[in-house]
Structures are given as structure tokens and as C-alpha cells.
Amino acid sequence: MKRTTIKDVAEAAGVGVATVSRVLSGGSASPETRERVLAVAAHLDYRPSALGRNLRQQRTGGIGLLVPDLTDTLYGRLAEGVLACARSAGEPVVVGSTGDDPEQEAELIGMLLEQSVDRVIAVPSGDAEVWGPAMRAGMTVVFVGEQPEQEPGDDDPLDELLLLDGVRSAPRPDSAIPTVLADDRSGVRTAVQYLKGLGHRRIAYLGGPGHPRRVAAFRQALGPLADEDLIVFAGGSRDSAYAAASSLLQSHRDVTALLAGGNPLGEAAVLASRELGLRIPGDLSLVMYDDVPWAELCSPPLTVIAQPGQDLGYRAAELVLRAGARRPRGVLLPTELIVRGSCGPRP
């Protein structure tokens, strides 16, 4: 007979997986919701093996790794770093793809809890509430590559990082989840300064979900030259990225340089430029955040902001394996501007 899962309880109770996890781990919920979830769980004979105190008592080891897209080259390199570190520690790794969707992310967290996995490395979707049940259940969590959105007025925990052992780090207060990031702000600033040095003034930014630090760095680096009409965001799909790039380049013919905030966005910018008959770099200089194999094979090869994907994963695994030790609040790894043939002087 198939064992009842947390997803079965959520569907029967008409709530999300995150809500079921929150109720069963003693978190906040309305009296009506709590009563309904508990009644359904009892009716279905659901036995949460790893919630609350049972998580510590029944620990089986292992590391959960949650990324938005397993086909993305960056996340593949990140996973390689996690696997290399986990292998050296003799720990198995359970990998899941969230699709950058908070509901799917919550479901995977629930599954990891059921499987008694108590260490998780995640590229978070951006919804901090999804992680409440995991934290209340005693999971050790490390974020990598991204941070959930903060409430307005919250300090950025990486604003006060100090250089230590080749990376920047800061003490971690008990309430904060350690985060391993690439220094995207420095990378974006360097790229914009490079384009300005080539004479470009109408510089556009093509972004996707997340990465608010990159957008903020872009605006700051451009200063008075920043034009909000030239800062465009796409959804998470490749079709959305292509549509956004094509619309931007068609409606703003005076744009002479474009910074793409990720490799799917860079791919979309290259395709849209070709469709519109724009020469790179004759008509449009292009910089892409993240170095991937095809970037060097383009004609011309793309100038990129390279981030150390494998090192990001390795450092995140090191942090999550430091059970009981005082871990830094954040680790910031350097980025590098690699100049290739996709940028030239302003036409």
C-alpha cells in the first residue's frame, strides 16, 4: 500500500504543501486551517517522519540541493561543486529542480523533510516564507547564488562583508540563513564602466526573475545616464526572454549597448539582434552576465561577467556541512569581466 505523502494531505485539505508543513511543525496558521489539516492528516493516517523533534532523532544524513533549472549550465557547475565537496565528506546528495516556482519549491522541501534530509542547499525562488517550515523543523539551510527578497528597509547582510581567505565574509546572526553569492554588483559595475569607456551612453539592461542586486548596480553605475525605459524584465522562460529582447531593441533603436543579466537572456539578445539585422558589435555592443561554453563559440565571441559556479557550490556545501560550528553569515566570491569580441566603440 502506498504511503501517504505531505502532498496528499495538502490536496485533500485544499491548502499548499507549505501550509501543511507549517501546521505540522507547530508554525502559525488560522484555527480553522490548523483543525482541517490535522483532521485530514489523521484521516489519511499521515505520519510525518521528519518533522519537529523527529528530524533530529531520525537524521539519516545527506544533503538536499534545490536549483531552478538542471539544464542551465551555471546550475550544472554549481551542482558539480556541491557533489565534489559532499563526496569528500561521504555524504549523498538529493537533487531537485524547482522551476523557480515557490509552490514547487515548497513541495520539494516537504519531500526532503519526509526523507529525513536535514541539510539543504538551495537557489531560492524569492519567497522567504516557503522556508519557514524547514527552519522550524531544524533544517540546516544555506542559500547559494540568490537571496529571497527582503522586506523594505532590511539591511543587506552582504553589505558589511570583510575580505577573508580570498573571499568576503561576515558573522552570522542566529536568525540569518548563510548565503554564498558571486559579487555581481562589482561585476556589473565593471561592465558598465567598460561600456562607458567605449563611448556608450544609451545602455540597456535585460533582466529576468530575481537578482535585484544586479539591477541596482546597473542603475548606480550609470548614474544620470540611467533610463528606466531601457531596463526591461522578462519572465523565466526562453520565449519570454526573446520577446523582451526583441521588443526592447525594436522600440529603442538608439540603444548602442546591452547588458544581459543571465545566460538565457544573453542567448535571447543574440537571437533578437540577428532577427532584427543588428550587427554585433557594429550596431550593438553586448555583455552577458555568466560565462557559458557557447558564449566563446558565438560569432563574435561574447564579452561576459564570469562567476565561479563550481566554487559557489563547493563553498555552500562546506557551510552546510559545518554542523554546530559558527558559520559566516555570507560568503562573496569574486567575478571577472572577460573581454571578447562582442563590444566595440559607440557607432
Phi, psi of 222 (to 5 degrees): -80, -30
pLDDT tens-place values along the chain, 347 residues long: 566 777 888 888 898 877 887 777 666 678 888 888 888 888 887 765 444 444 444 445 689 999 998 888 899 999 999 999 999 888 899 999 998 888 899 889 988 888 888 899 999 987 788 888 888 888 899 999 987 765 444 444 444 443 334 444 443 333 478 999 999 999 999 999 999 999 999 999 999 887 888 999 999 999 999 999 999 999 878 899 999 999 999 999 999 999 999 999 999 999 999 999 999 999 999 999 999 999 999 999 999 999 999 999 999 999 998 866 566 678 999 999 999 999 999 98
Q: First-to-last CA distance in the chain?
A: 70
Query: Residue 1 corresponds to which cell in the numbers above?
Result: 500500500
Q: Say if residue 301 is preceded by a cis peptide, omega within 30 of 0.
A: no
Q: Give the domain ranges of the chain.
A: 58-154, 184-307
pLDDT value of residue 241? 95
- Give the residue carrying C-alpha cell 581567505: 165
Name the maximum alpha-carbon separation found in the chain: 70
Give the pLDDT of residue 154.
43
One fold for both 58-154 and 184-307?
yes
Pick 184-307's CATH classification: 3.40.50.300, 3.40.640.10, 2.60.40.10, 3.40.50.2300. 3.40.50.2300
HSE-up (13 A, CA, CB side) for residue 33: 17
Q: Give pLDDT, residue 127.
A: 76
Strands 303-306, 336-338: pairing is antiparallel
Report yes or no: 146 and 122 within 8 Å, Cβ to Cβ: no
pTM of the model: 0.75
Cα separation, 36 vs 63, in Å, equals 32
Cell of 298: 558565438
* Angle, CA 108 vertex, CA 158 and CA 323 arms, to 5°: 50
How far is 216 from 203, CA to CA, in rounded Å?
A: 14
Amino acid 23: pLDDT:
77
Three cell numbers at 156?
543587506
Cα three-residue angle 8-147-52, rounded to 5 degrees: 40
| The CATH number, out of the four listed (3.40.50.300, 3.30.1330.10, 1.20.120.530, 3.40.50.2300), of the domain defined by the range 58-154 | 3.40.50.2300
SS3 of the chain: the string is: CCCCCHHHHHHHHCCCHHHHHHHHCCCCCCHHHHHHHHHHHHHCCCCCCCCCHHHHHCCCCCEEEEECCCCCHHHHHHHHHHHHHHHHCCCCEEEEECCCCHHHHHHHHHHHHHCCCCEEEECCCCCHHHHHHHHHCCCEEEEECCCCCCCCCCCCCCCCCEEECCEEEEECCCCCCCEEEECHHHHHHHHHHHHHHCCCCCEEEEECCCCHHHHHHHHHHHHHHCCHHHEEECCCCHHHHHHHHHHHHHHCCCCCEEEECCHHHHHHHHHHHHHCCCCCCCCCEEEEECCCHHHHHCCCCCEEEECCHHHHHHHHHHHHCCCCCCCEEEEEECCEEECCCCCCCCC
Residue 238, all three cell numbers = 526562453
**Paired strand residues for 337:** 305
